[in-house]
Amino acid sequence: MIHPSRDTFRSLARDHTVVPVWRELVADLVTPVAAFARLCRDDRPAFLFESVEHGERWSRWSFVGRNPAATLVSRGRQAVVEGGRLPLDVRLDHGILVAVEDL
């Protein structure tokens, strides 16, 4: 099932410039990295976020995305935005992980 519903999407789109659309998949036999490789074969920017912590074998969730509105890059202790803008409250001078958490 794709989320949100078409009606909910239209309602949200009236007040927002970006509305995330997603589909939940149970992928018992496909790793997140394998899914990422299959979905993002071309040269367009893409990302994979996973919930794996402390060397756990299984992740609780994974996000795969393509064509991001902005790209967040780590340069030393700074997070740098390329090709777009982020909300003003994202802290870029505390490192990439803090910037991602702020998002």
Q: Give tens-digit pLDDT for 29-63.
A: 888 888 888 888 888 888 888 887 776 666 678 88
pLDDT of residue 15: 95
pTM: 0.58
Instruction: Report yes or no: 64 and 47 within 8 Å, Cβ to Cβ.
Output: yes
- Separation between Cα atoms, residue 93 and residue 99, nearest integer Å: 8
Q: Where are the domains of the chain?
A: 1-68, 69-103
DSSP 8-state secondary structure symbol assigned to residue 102: H
pLDDT of residue 7: 97
Residue 48's φ and ψ, nearest 5 degrees, are -135, 120
- Separation between Cα atoms, residue 3 and residue 23, nearest integer Å: 6
pLDDT of residue 9: 96
pLDDT of residue 10: 96
